[in-house]
Amino acid sequence: MNRGLETAARALAGARRVAVVSGAGISAESGVPTFREKGGLWEQVRIEDVATPEALHRNPRKVWEFYEDRRRNMQAVQPNPGHHAIAEMENVFAEVITITQNIDGLHQRAGSTQVLELHGSLWKAHCLRACGVKRDPFPYPAPELPPRCECGDILRPSVVLFGDLLPPGAMERASQAAADCDVCLVVGTSGAVWPAAGIPLVACQAGRTTIEVNPADTEISGELDLCLRGPAGTVLPALLSRTRELIS
Ligand code: BV8
Ligand code: ZN
Protein backbone atom coordinates (compact mmCIF):
# COMPACT_ATOMS: atom_id res chain seq x y z
CA MET A 1 0.00 0.00 0.00
CA ASN A 2 1.28 3.44 -0.96
CA ARG A 3 2.12 5.20 2.35
CA GLY A 4 0.61 8.49 1.16
CA LEU A 5 -2.61 6.76 0.22
CA GLU A 6 -2.78 5.06 3.64
CA THR A 7 -2.32 8.40 5.42
CA ALA A 8 -4.94 10.01 3.17
CA ALA A 9 -7.40 7.15 3.82
CA ARG A 10 -6.91 7.52 7.58
CA ALA A 11 -7.68 11.24 7.33
CA LEU A 12 -10.81 10.53 5.28
CA ALA A 13 -11.93 7.72 7.63
CA GLY A 14 -12.25 10.32 10.39
CA ALA A 15 -13.99 12.93 8.21
CA ARG A 16 -17.66 13.96 8.18
CA ARG A 17 -17.46 16.71 5.58
CA VAL A 18 -15.39 16.56 2.39
CA ALA A 19 -14.83 19.43 -0.07
CA VAL A 20 -13.61 18.33 -3.50
CA VAL A 21 -11.96 20.92 -5.77
CA SER A 22 -11.64 19.53 -9.30
CA GLY A 23 -10.14 20.72 -12.57
CA ALA A 24 -9.75 19.45 -16.11
CA GLY A 25 -7.47 16.58 -15.04
CA ILE A 26 -10.34 14.60 -13.56
CA SER A 27 -11.95 14.45 -17.01
CA ALA A 28 -8.68 13.59 -18.82
CA GLU A 29 -9.27 9.81 -18.55
CA SER A 30 -12.67 10.34 -20.14
CA GLY A 31 -10.82 11.67 -23.18
CA VAL A 32 -11.53 15.36 -22.53
CA PRO A 33 -8.42 17.45 -23.30
CA THR A 34 -6.91 19.51 -20.46
CA PHE A 35 -5.75 23.09 -20.99
CA ARG A 36 -2.12 23.52 -20.05
CA GLU A 37 -0.54 20.15 -20.57
CA LYS A 38 1.29 19.23 -23.76
CA GLY A 39 -1.21 19.29 -26.60
CA GLY A 40 -3.72 21.00 -24.33
CA LEU A 41 -6.53 23.25 -25.50
CA TRP A 42 -4.57 26.47 -25.04
CA GLU A 43 -1.92 25.15 -27.42
CA GLN A 44 -4.55 24.72 -30.11
CA VAL A 45 -6.37 28.05 -29.77
CA ARG A 46 -5.52 31.39 -28.16
CA ILE A 47 -7.53 32.35 -25.08
CA GLU A 48 -7.78 35.89 -26.48
CA ASP A 49 -9.54 34.59 -29.61
CA VAL A 50 -12.13 32.27 -28.05
CA ALA A 51 -12.40 32.62 -24.26
CA THR A 52 -12.69 36.31 -23.32
CA PRO A 53 -15.68 38.71 -23.27
CA GLU A 54 -13.86 40.84 -25.86
CA ALA A 55 -13.59 37.85 -28.23
CA LEU A 56 -17.31 37.17 -27.71
CA HIS A 57 -18.26 40.73 -28.72
CA ARG A 58 -15.71 40.86 -31.54
CA ASN A 59 -16.46 37.49 -33.14
CA PRO A 60 -19.30 35.58 -31.44
CA ARG A 61 -19.38 32.96 -34.20
CA LYS A 62 -15.70 32.01 -33.59
CA VAL A 63 -16.31 31.72 -29.83
CA TRP A 64 -19.40 29.61 -30.44
CA GLU A 65 -17.50 27.34 -32.85
CA PHE A 66 -14.94 26.69 -30.08
CA TYR A 67 -17.60 25.82 -27.52
CA GLU A 68 -19.82 23.92 -29.95
CA ASP A 69 -16.76 21.79 -30.88
CA ARG A 70 -16.32 20.90 -27.20
CA ARG A 71 -20.04 20.13 -26.87
CA ARG A 72 -19.77 17.90 -29.96
CA ASN A 73 -16.73 16.06 -28.55
CA MET A 74 -18.60 15.53 -25.28
CA GLN A 75 -21.27 13.48 -27.09
CA ALA A 76 -18.96 10.43 -27.08
CA VAL A 77 -17.63 11.02 -23.55
CA GLN A 78 -18.55 9.18 -20.35
CA PRO A 79 -17.66 9.88 -16.72
CA ASN A 80 -14.63 7.84 -15.59
CA PRO A 81 -13.94 5.93 -12.32
CA GLY A 82 -12.58 9.15 -10.78
CA HIS A 83 -15.94 10.92 -11.24
CA HIS A 84 -17.77 7.83 -9.97
CA ALA A 85 -15.60 7.59 -6.85
CA ILE A 86 -16.42 11.22 -5.98
CA ALA A 87 -20.13 10.61 -6.57
CA GLU A 88 -19.94 7.47 -4.37
CA MET A 89 -18.37 9.54 -1.55
CA GLU A 90 -21.80 11.17 -1.09
CA ASN A 91 -22.94 7.77 0.27
CA VAL A 92 -19.98 7.51 2.66
CA PHE A 93 -19.62 10.96 4.23
CA ALA A 94 -22.21 13.19 5.90
CA GLU A 95 -21.54 15.95 3.35
CA VAL A 96 -19.57 16.11 0.08
CA ILE A 97 -19.45 19.40 -1.86
CA THR A 98 -17.86 19.07 -5.32
CA ILE A 99 -16.47 22.43 -6.39
CA THR A 100 -15.47 22.15 -10.04
CA GLN A 101 -13.74 24.42 -12.55
CA ASN A 102 -14.96 22.09 -15.28
CA ILE A 103 -17.86 22.96 -17.55
CA ASP A 104 -18.41 19.42 -18.93
CA GLY A 105 -21.12 18.24 -16.51
CA LEU A 106 -19.39 14.87 -15.92
CA HIS A 107 -19.61 15.04 -12.11
CA GLN A 108 -23.40 15.33 -12.30
CA ARG A 109 -23.59 12.55 -14.92
CA ALA A 110 -21.59 10.30 -12.55
CA GLY A 111 -24.20 10.95 -9.83
CA SER A 112 -22.74 13.78 -7.74
CA THR A 113 -25.62 15.92 -6.46
CA GLN A 114 -23.86 18.75 -4.60
CA VAL A 115 -21.88 20.29 -7.46
CA LEU A 116 -20.74 23.93 -7.58
CA GLU A 117 -19.80 24.89 -11.15
CA LEU A 118 -17.43 27.83 -10.60
CA HIS A 119 -16.85 28.40 -14.32
CA GLY A 120 -20.35 27.70 -15.61
CA SER A 121 -21.48 24.96 -17.98
CA LEU A 122 -21.26 23.92 -21.64
CA TRP A 123 -24.93 22.91 -21.36
CA LYS A 124 -26.37 26.34 -20.53
CA ALA A 125 -26.68 29.61 -22.46
CA HIS A 126 -28.07 33.08 -21.74
CA CYS A 127 -28.79 36.33 -23.57
CA LEU A 128 -25.70 38.38 -24.44
CA ARG A 129 -27.71 41.56 -23.93
CA ALA A 130 -28.91 40.21 -20.55
CA CYS A 131 -32.61 40.51 -21.46
CA GLY A 132 -33.03 37.83 -18.82
CA VAL A 133 -33.44 34.83 -21.15
CA LYS A 134 -31.61 31.79 -19.79
CA ARG A 135 -31.55 28.42 -21.57
CA ASP A 136 -30.92 25.60 -19.12
CA PRO A 137 -30.38 23.12 -20.56
CA PHE A 138 -29.10 24.48 -23.88
CA PRO A 139 -28.97 21.15 -25.75
CA TYR A 140 -26.45 20.14 -28.38
CA PRO A 141 -26.51 20.90 -31.30
CA ALA A 142 -27.22 24.61 -31.32
CA PRO A 143 -29.77 25.44 -34.05
CA GLU A 144 -27.39 28.04 -35.53
CA LEU A 145 -24.09 29.73 -34.57
CA PRO A 146 -24.33 32.13 -32.87
CA PRO A 147 -27.79 31.06 -31.58
CA ARG A 148 -30.51 33.71 -31.50
CA CYS A 149 -32.21 35.01 -28.37
CA GLU A 150 -35.96 35.69 -28.38
CA CYS A 151 -35.17 39.40 -27.95
CA GLY A 152 -33.33 39.43 -31.28
CA ASP A 153 -29.84 39.55 -29.75
CA ILE A 154 -27.71 36.44 -29.55
CA LEU A 155 -27.21 33.90 -26.77
CA ARG A 156 -23.78 33.38 -25.20
CA PRO A 157 -22.43 30.21 -23.57
CA SER A 158 -23.06 30.36 -19.80
CA VAL A 159 -19.34 29.81 -19.29
CA VAL A 160 -17.06 32.08 -17.21
CA LEU A 161 -14.58 33.47 -19.72
CA PHE A 162 -11.19 34.97 -18.77
CA GLY A 163 -12.06 38.42 -17.51
CA ASP A 164 -15.64 37.44 -16.56
CA LEU A 165 -16.65 37.54 -12.93
CA LEU A 166 -17.57 34.19 -11.39
CA PRO A 167 -21.28 33.51 -10.81
CA PRO A 168 -22.58 35.64 -7.88
CA GLY A 169 -22.02 33.84 -4.60
CA ALA A 170 -19.97 31.01 -6.13
CA MET A 171 -16.68 31.95 -4.46
CA GLU A 172 -18.40 32.64 -1.14
CA ARG A 173 -20.10 29.21 -1.17
CA ALA A 174 -16.92 27.46 -2.31
CA SER A 175 -14.77 29.21 0.30
CA GLN A 176 -17.30 28.38 3.02
CA ALA A 177 -17.25 24.70 2.00
CA ALA A 178 -13.43 24.69 2.07
CA ALA A 179 -13.35 26.38 5.48
CA ASP A 180 -15.99 24.07 6.98
CA CYS A 181 -14.76 20.72 5.63
CA ASP A 182 -12.68 18.14 7.50
CA VAL A 183 -10.78 17.10 4.36
CA CYS A 184 -10.29 18.99 1.07
CA LEU A 185 -9.47 16.81 -1.95
CA VAL A 186 -7.81 18.77 -4.80
CA VAL A 187 -8.10 16.70 -7.98
CA GLY A 188 -6.75 17.35 -11.47
CA THR A 189 -6.05 21.05 -11.34
CA SER A 190 -2.83 22.91 -12.13
CA GLY A 191 -3.78 25.70 -9.71
CA ALA A 192 -3.09 28.26 -12.46
CA VAL A 193 -6.48 29.98 -12.63
CA TRP A 194 -7.66 32.47 -10.03
CA PRO A 195 -9.68 32.95 -7.92
CA ALA A 196 -10.52 29.16 -8.06
CA ALA A 197 -6.91 28.23 -7.22
CA GLY A 198 -7.31 30.01 -3.89
CA ILE A 199 -10.06 27.69 -2.62
CA PRO A 200 -7.80 24.85 -1.39
CA LEU A 201 -5.71 27.51 0.38
CA VAL A 202 -8.82 28.51 2.38
CA ALA A 203 -8.95 24.90 3.66
CA CYS A 204 -5.22 25.08 4.51
CA GLN A 205 -5.67 28.35 6.42
CA ALA A 206 -8.61 26.82 8.31
CA GLY A 207 -6.32 23.97 9.37
CA ARG A 208 -8.16 21.33 7.33
CA THR A 209 -6.39 18.31 5.84
CA THR A 210 -5.66 18.95 2.16
CA ILE A 211 -4.93 16.10 -0.25
CA GLU A 212 -3.88 16.59 -3.88
CA VAL A 213 -4.56 13.87 -6.49
CA ASN A 214 -2.53 14.61 -9.61
CA PRO A 215 0.18 12.77 -11.61
CA ALA A 216 2.29 15.96 -11.59
CA ASP A 217 3.35 18.77 -9.26
CA THR A 218 1.17 21.87 -9.44
CA GLU A 219 1.39 25.54 -8.50
CA ILE A 220 -0.23 24.77 -5.14
CA SER A 221 1.32 21.35 -4.31
CA GLY A 222 3.71 22.97 -1.85
CA GLU A 223 0.83 24.35 0.23
CA LEU A 224 -1.02 21.02 0.57
CA ASP A 225 -0.60 18.35 3.27
CA LEU A 226 -0.51 15.25 1.06
CA CYS A 227 0.16 14.75 -2.65
CA LEU A 228 -0.96 11.43 -4.17
CA ARG A 229 0.91 11.26 -7.49
CA GLY A 230 -1.23 9.30 -9.94
CA PRO A 231 -4.24 9.51 -12.23
CA ALA A 232 -7.56 10.29 -10.55
CA GLY A 233 -9.25 7.32 -12.24
CA THR A 234 -6.93 4.95 -10.34
CA VAL A 235 -6.13 6.85 -7.14
CA LEU A 236 -9.65 7.94 -6.15
CA PRO A 237 -11.27 4.45 -6.30
CA ALA A 238 -8.29 3.01 -4.35
CA LEU A 239 -8.51 5.82 -1.79
CA LEU A 240 -12.26 5.37 -1.35
CA SER A 241 -12.02 1.60 -0.99
CA ARG A 242 -9.24 1.82 1.63
CA THR A 243 -11.21 4.50 3.50
CA ARG A 244 -14.27 2.23 3.58
CA GLU A 245 -12.15 -0.62 4.98
CA LEU A 246 -10.94 1.67 7.77
CA ILE A 247 -14.45 2.94 8.53
CA SER A 248 -16.07 -0.50 8.68
C1 BV8 B 1 -12.00 36.75 -12.45
C2 BV8 B 1 -14.15 28.28 -18.53
C3 BV8 B 1 -12.51 38.92 -11.62
C4 BV8 B 1 -13.78 28.44 -19.93
C5 BV8 B 1 -12.15 28.98 -17.37
C6 BV8 B 1 -5.96 36.98 -9.73
C7 BV8 B 1 -7.22 37.14 -9.18
C8 BV8 B 1 -8.34 37.17 -10.00
C9 BV8 B 1 -8.19 37.00 -11.39
C10 BV8 B 1 -6.94 36.84 -11.93
C11 BV8 B 1 -5.83 36.82 -11.11
N12 BV8 B 1 -4.75 36.64 -11.91
C13 BV8 B 1 -5.14 36.53 -13.19
C14 BV8 B 1 -6.48 36.66 -13.25
C15 BV8 B 1 -7.27 36.61 -14.48
C16 BV8 B 1 -7.73 35.19 -14.79
C17 BV8 B 1 -6.69 34.15 -14.54
O18 BV8 B 1 -6.70 33.47 -13.52
N19 BV8 B 1 -5.80 33.99 -15.49
C20 BV8 B 1 -4.81 32.93 -15.35
C21 BV8 B 1 -4.68 32.20 -16.66
C22 BV8 B 1 -3.52 33.58 -14.87
N23 BV8 B 1 -8.91 34.88 -14.01
C24 BV8 B 1 -10.11 35.27 -14.47
O25 BV8 B 1 -10.25 35.98 -15.46
C26 BV8 B 1 -11.33 34.81 -13.68
N27 BV8 B 1 -12.19 35.95 -13.49
O28 BV8 B 1 -11.13 36.57 -11.66
O29 BV8 B 1 -12.89 37.85 -12.40
C30 BV8 B 1 -11.53 39.70 -12.44
C31 BV8 B 1 -11.90 40.09 -13.72
C32 BV8 B 1 -10.98 40.82 -14.49
C33 BV8 B 1 -9.70 41.11 -13.98
C34 BV8 B 1 -9.35 40.68 -12.69
C35 BV8 B 1 -10.27 39.97 -11.93
C36 BV8 B 1 -12.12 33.79 -14.48
C37 BV8 B 1 -11.29 32.56 -14.72
C38 BV8 B 1 -12.19 31.50 -15.37
C39 BV8 B 1 -11.78 31.31 -16.80
N40 BV8 B 1 -12.57 30.20 -17.38
N41 BV8 B 1 -12.91 28.01 -17.84
C42 BV8 B 1 -13.52 27.07 -20.54
O43 BV8 B 1 -13.44 26.07 -19.83
O44 BV8 B 1 -13.40 27.07 -21.76
S45 BV8 B 1 -10.65 28.58 -16.72
C46 BV8 B 1 -10.08 27.10 -17.31
O47 BV8 B 1 -8.89 26.82 -16.57
C48 BV8 B 1 -10.97 25.91 -17.03
O49 BV8 B 1 -12.07 26.21 -16.21
C50 BV8 B 1 -10.04 24.98 -16.26
O51 BV8 B 1 -10.71 24.08 -15.47
C52 BV8 B 1 -9.32 25.99 -15.51
C53 BV8 B 1 -8.16 25.63 -14.70
O54 BV8 B 1 -7.37 24.75 -15.43
P55 BV8 B 1 -7.27 23.28 -14.83
O56 BV8 B 1 -8.65 22.77 -14.63
O57 BV8 B 1 -6.37 23.30 -13.66
O58 BV8 B 1 -6.65 22.52 -16.07
P59 BV8 B 1 -5.12 22.53 -16.51
O60 BV8 B 1 -5.07 22.03 -17.92
O61 BV8 B 1 -4.50 23.84 -16.19
O62 BV8 B 1 -4.43 21.44 -15.56
C63 BV8 B 1 -4.83 20.08 -15.65
C64 BV8 B 1 -4.24 19.35 -14.45
O65 BV8 B 1 -4.72 18.01 -14.46
C66 BV8 B 1 -2.73 19.28 -14.48
O67 BV8 B 1 -2.22 19.60 -13.20
C68 BV8 B 1 -2.45 17.80 -14.81
O69 BV8 B 1 -1.25 17.33 -14.20
C70 BV8 B 1 -3.65 17.15 -14.18
N71 BV8 B 1 -4.00 15.82 -14.74
C72 BV8 B 1 -3.83 15.37 -16.01
N73 BV8 B 1 -4.31 14.10 -16.10
C74 BV8 B 1 -4.81 13.78 -14.88
C75 BV8 B 1 -4.62 14.87 -14.02
N76 BV8 B 1 -5.00 14.86 -12.73
C77 BV8 B 1 -5.59 13.72 -12.28
N78 BV8 B 1 -5.82 12.64 -13.05
C79 BV8 B 1 -5.44 12.63 -14.35
N80 BV8 B 1 -5.66 11.54 -15.12
ZN1 ZN C 1 -32.28 38.36 -25.14
CATH number at residue 147: 3.30.1600.10
pLDDT of residue 120: 98
Write down which residue in 139, 159, 179 finishes a domain: 159
Residue type at 136 in one-letter notation: D
Q: What is the mean pLDDT of the chain?
A: 97
| Contact yes or no for 50/63 (Cβ under 8 A) | yes
pLDDT of residue 2: 74
Nearest residue by C-alpha to atom 72 in ligand 1? 25
Asked if 111 and 176 sit in the same domain, the reply is: yes
Asked if 191 and 244 sit in the same domain, the reply is: yes
182-199 pLDDT per residue, tens: 999 999 999 999 999 999
Residue 35 Cβ inside 6 Å of ligand 1? The answer reads yes
Asked if 152 and 236 sit in the same domain, the reply is: no
pLDDT of residue 160: 98
pLDDT of residue 39: 87
Asked if 63 and 181 sit in the same domain, the reply is: no
* 3-class SS of residue 20: strand
Residue 115 Cβ inside 6 Å of ligand 1? The answer reads no
Give 189's DSSP letter.
-
| Contact yes or no for 37/23 (Cβ under 8 A) | no
27-60 pLDDT per residue, tens: 999 999 999 988 899 999 999 999 999 999 999 9
Asked if 112 and 174 sit in the same domain, the reply is: yes
Residue 219: nearest ligand to its CA?
Answer: 1
Asked if 138 and 63 sit in the same domain, the reply is: yes
Q: Number of folded domains in the chain? A: 2
Closest CA to 243 of 78, 24, 96, 29: 96
Active-site pick, 84, 107, 119, 126: 119
Residue 158 Cβ inside 6 Å of ligand 1? The answer reads no
Write down which residue in 159, 186, 207 finishes a domain: 159
Asked if 71 and 180 sit in the same domain, the reply is: no
The full DSSP string for 43-112 is HHS-HHHHSSHHHHHH-HHHHHHHHHHHHHHGGG----HHHHHHHHHTTTSSEEEEEE---S-HHHHHT-
Nearest residue by C-alpha to atom 80 in ligand 1? 231
- Find the domain containing 131 and state its range: 35-76+124-159
**In whole angstroms, what is the distance from residue 23 CA to residue 34 CA?**
9
75-86 pLDDT per residue, tens: 999 999 999 999
pLDDT of residue 103: 98
**In whole angstroms, what is the distance from residue 210 CA to residue 176 CA?**
15
Asked if 222 and 148 sit in the same domain, the reply is: no
Asked if 15 and 108 sit in the same domain, the reply is: yes
Residues 6+ apart with CB under 8 A from 22: 86, 98, 99, 100, 101, 102, 107, 187, 188, 189
* Catalytic residue check, 119: yes
**In whole angstroms, what is the distance from residue 102 CA to residue 81 CA?**
16
Asked if 135 and 191 sit in the same domain, the reply is: no
Residues of the chain short of pLDDT 50, as ranges, are none
Asked if 104 and 178 sit in the same domain, the reply is: yes
**In whole angstroms, what is the distance from residue 88 CA to residue 81 CA?**
10
Write down which residue in 133, 159, 185 finishes a domain: 159
Asked if 215 and 150 sit in the same domain, the reply is: no
From 27, 32, 34, 67, mutation site for ligand 1 pocket: most ligand atoms within 8 A of C-beta:
34
98: left (phi over 0), alpha (psi -120 to 50) or beta: beta
CATH number at residue 185: 3.40.50.1220
Ligand 2 is a single-atom ion; what residues have CB below 5 A from it?
127, 131, 133, 149, 151, 153
